[in-house]
A and B are shown apart, each in its own frame.
Chain A
Amino acid sequence: MIPFTTLTGIAAPMLRANIDTDLIIPKLFLKTLVRTGLGRHLFAELRYDNEGHEAPNFVLNQAPYRQATILLAGPNFGCGSSREHAPWALLDFGIRCVIASSFADIFYNNCFANGILPIALPIAAIEDLAAASGPLTVDLQAQTVAVAGRLHPFDIDPARKASLIEGLDQIGRSLANLPAIEAFEARRSRETPWL
């Protein structure tokens, strides 16, 4: 996983509520066997018309947002399906950070597994970021989003922060504790042998 420290980039505003993972990446594209290549299908149903041409009024089809590395959204971003194809599509498009007023749990988890930083901020702060022209700077260490000299601080769980900054391999970390897993299994087969 690519570590996340700071990011300066264009933020595309999509301030509607309840952007679900079906919308982020429609099921048509879930038939893939790999994690890459989904960027061109990101938000496909909003981004392209029925003939497959770009919809000019969709934000990611407009300059400068084609180069966006940050997404701004409303409440309950990433609700619905657990598909990790959603963060994969965002990442493949180039989005490394989503700033929303709240997130759905599974999507939120999936972001960290892919080196994407999800930031929850009050809607007023997000509107302020959306109104600003020019790039934002996200500093994970300092836990701030900066725009035009204004700073918006954000909260993040210290463990998640550390794992993003270090680009930690979570599986390796759990496996490092193999003896504890084995001990648990031994006890479990004694106490609840039907499991």
Chain B
Amino acid sequence: MSPGARTLYDKIWEAHLVEIRGDGTSLLYIDRHLVHEVTSPQAFEGLRLAGRPLRRPKAILSVADHNVPTRKREAGIADATSRLQVEALEANVQAFAVPYVPLLDDRQGIVHVIGPEQGFTLPGATVVCGDSHTSTHGAFGALAFGIGTSEVEHVLATQTLPQRHSRNMRVHFEGSLPDGLGAKDLALYLIGRIGTAGGTGHVMEFAGRAVRALSMEGRMTLCNMSIEAGARSGLVAPDDTTFAYMKGRPMAPAGPLWEQALANWRNLPTDEGATFDRELRLEVGDLAPQLTWGTSPESVVAITGQVPDPGTAPSAAEREGILRALEYMGLQPGTLMEDVPIQVVFIGSCTNGRIEDLRAAARVALGRKVATGVRALVVPGSGLVKRQAEVEGLDRIFLEAGFEWRQPGCSMCLAMNDDRLEPGERCASTSNRNFEGRQGRGGRTHLVSPEMAAAAAVMGHFTDVRRLLEAR
């Protein structure tokens, strides 16, 4: 340990202290606030009822994403309650003069996709949103975390939040990922190892060669899933990959301000010799593609593995948990994962709905056909991702293979719009949660990477994507 050496998390924390209260909490200044239609109406209402003004409208970027249709959007939202919620957002942002990306704008998309895309998310900033996957923005070296609606109201009114300092944790991913594997495999592997409560109370910094090698999209995938490991936030230290991604984005600093910001950002990474409360090293050089079998993101196996046997569980409670999950998922212990058939494929979400993800899936889908009886959706994370994919011809690859090519939104990640699983349907999904009912009541979700989702789509069952890539 070196005296004075600080972690990335501690540097951001200290730079945002408005007040240290004597009771273990601190008032933290919030730089960036993302707002969507589901978790904000009660917050705006609270503000109104208390007669409080909104402190800093310019610190906000708002968009509707959860409820929005991904087909024929131009015709309006058919579902009345969804429409009301989107209209409520539009009325609120207008009343409070909050920057808003309209539904039919090309820049519309999932809140965690458009923040970085617009250059709204910045290294060293504090970023919040009434949404647990706000952790995504940690990929830029921003302290980003999900909050509840009461806290949304708190930020709207004060631009601050009372917080307690979290513990520091660092996860090193050593080695280089094999071809066909990506950030999603890292995330699933980690959660499989430490469990969904493994990071509770911690801010988790990701380091190591495999992380440095990731694109910004990959880093976002990894940080996105840190909440599934229970962590408050995920973080990746900003570097030249980060700066190259950000330069020239509409809301990023430009000109002399860019140079000034850059100098500041280069000081953000964790100092040599800084200590963490917990450190974990994982060797990933010969990792196999990862996927989930059960109803928790920690129910992870390698594609070369099989459905677990409850008989081998270490305790009665865990055995019962496995049995319950197997029943819900309609799986038999010992079944090879490659033998599990799927009926639906969902490629999208704030985890894997970015351009790199679509490229990775298209690489597998190219020249192949979606298996008979499989419904496969590709839902770009934003209008700009969609447009870029179309420029590159990825939409043609998907459409020719038999995938549906949709308009951007959260879609089947949580099925608040019309995209959902029917009871008993089994889905290879690039989203982040396989909870019971998450993608539709009775629906069965297996979390996978975009490559693995595309492979499942063309085979009709889970497949080791490495074989399909070798066959090229």
- State in angstroms the CA–CA spacing of A84 and B151 once bound together: 10
Whether, in the assembled complex, B261 has its beta carbon less than 8 Å from a beta carbon of chain A, the answer is yes
- Inter-chain CA distance A163–B232, complex, in Å, is 22
* Chain B neighbourhood of A174, CB < 8 A: 27, 154, 157-158, 160, 162
With A105-B201, A106-B146, A106-B147 known as contacts, the answer to whether A27 contacts B18 (CB < 8 A) is no
Asked if B150 is an interface residue, CB under 8 A from chain A, the answer is yes
B422 to chain A, nearest CB (A): 11
Interface residues of A in 5-26 (CB under 8 A from B): 15-18, 20, 22-23, 26
Looking at the assembled complex, report how far the CB atom of B90 sits from the nearest CB atom of chain A, in whole angstroms.
Answer: 13
- A109 interfacial contact with B, CB 8 Å: yes
Q: Give the number of residue pairs across the A-B interface with Cβ within 8 Å.
A: 171
Contact residues in A for B196 (Cβ distance below 8 Å) = 18, 76, 79
* Closest A residue to B156 using CB positions: A171
* B contacts with A: majority SS: loop
Task: Assess whether A159 is in contact with B23, with CB atoms less than 8 Å apart.
Answer: yes
| B230–A177 touching, CB < 8 Å | no
In the complex, the answer to whether A31 meets B84 with C-beta atoms within 8 Å is yes
Cross-chain contact B416 with A82 (CB below 8 angstroms): no
Taking a contact as CB atoms under 8 Å apart, the answer to whether B264 and A82 are in contact is: no
Asked if A57 is at the interface (CB within 8 A of a chain B CB), the reply is no
Which single residue of chain A is at the shortest CB-CB distance from B252? A194
Given A27-B414, A181-B158, does the pair A33, B42 have CB atoms closer than 8 Å? yes
State whether B197 touches A80 (Cβ < 8 A): no
Q: B264, B320, B438 — which one has the most chain A CB atoms within 10 A of its CB?
A: B438
Cβ of A141 under 8 Å from chain B:
no
Instruction: Tell me the smallest distance from the CB of B296 to a CB of chain A, in Å.
Output: 5
The answer to whether B261 and A33 have CB atoms under 8 Å apart is no
Does B160 contact A106, Cβ atoms closer than 8 Å? no
Q: Are A76 and B160 closer than 8 Å at their CB atoms? A: no
Q: Does B317 contact A (CB under 8 A)?
A: yes
Considering only residues 278-337 of chain B, those with a C-beta below 8 Å from chain A are 296, 317, 320-321, 324
**In the complex, chain A residues whose CB is within 8 Å of the CB of B261:** 192, 194
With contact pairs A17-B321, A74-B317, A193-B260 given, residues A104 and B82 touching in the complex (Cβ less than 8 Å): no
Across the interface, A194 reaches (CB within 8 A) one of B45, B132, B253, B435, namely B253
Across the interface, do A23 and B435 meet the contact criterion of CB distance under 8 Å?
Answer: yes
| B130 interface hit (Cβ, 8 Å) | yes
Report which residue of B124, B151, B153 has the largest number of chain A beta carbons within 10 angstroms of its beta carbon.
B151
Determine if B19 is an interface residue (Cβ-Cβ < 8 Å): yes
Instruction: Name the CB-closest residue of A to B50.
Output: A171
CB-based contact A171/B200 at 8 Å: no
Chain B stretch 188-208: residues in CB contact (< 8 A) with chain A: 196-197, 200-201
B-chain residues with CB within 8 Å of residue A171 when the two chains form the complex? 50, 52, 153-154, 157-158
Cβ distance B79 to chain A, nearest Cβ, rounded Å: 8
Q: Which residues of B contact A26 (CB under 8 A)?
A: 437, 441
B88 contacts chain A at the CB level, 8 A cutoff: yes
Q: Which chain A positions have C-beta within 8 A of B415?
A: 27
Nearest residue, chain A, Cβ from B230: A104
Of A33, A175, A177, the contact of B41 (CB 8 Å cutoff): A33
B19 engages A195 (CB within 8 Å): no
Q: Is the pair A102, B200 in contact by a Cβ cutoff of 8 Å?
A: yes
User: Would B150 and A114 count as touching, CB distance under 8 A?
Assistant: yes
Known: A30-B416, A45-B437, A193-B260. 5 other contacts (CB 8 A): A31-B84, A80-B433, A82-B131, A113-B148, A159-B25
Top-10 shortest CB links A-B: A113-B150, A159-B23, A194-B253, A110-B148, A84-B148, A82-B146, A31-B81, A84-B149, A82-B132, A76-B197
| Residue ranges of B at the interface with A (Cβ–Cβ < 8 Å) | 18-19, 21, 23-25, 27, 29, 31, 38-39, 41-42, 45, 50, 52, 55, 66-67, 81-82, 84-85, 88, 122, 124-125, 130-132, 146-151, 153-154, 157-160, 162, 164, 196-197, 200-201, 230, 232, 253, 257-258, 260-261, 264, 296, 317, 320-321, 324, 414-416, 423, 433, 435-438, 441-442
19 contacts between A and B (CB under 8 A): A17-B321, A22-B437, A27-B414, A31-B38, A31-B67, A34-B41, A76-B197, A81-B131, A82-B39, A83-B39, A102-B197, A105-B200, A105-B232, A114-B150, A171-B154, A174-B157, A194-B122, A194-B253, A195-B125
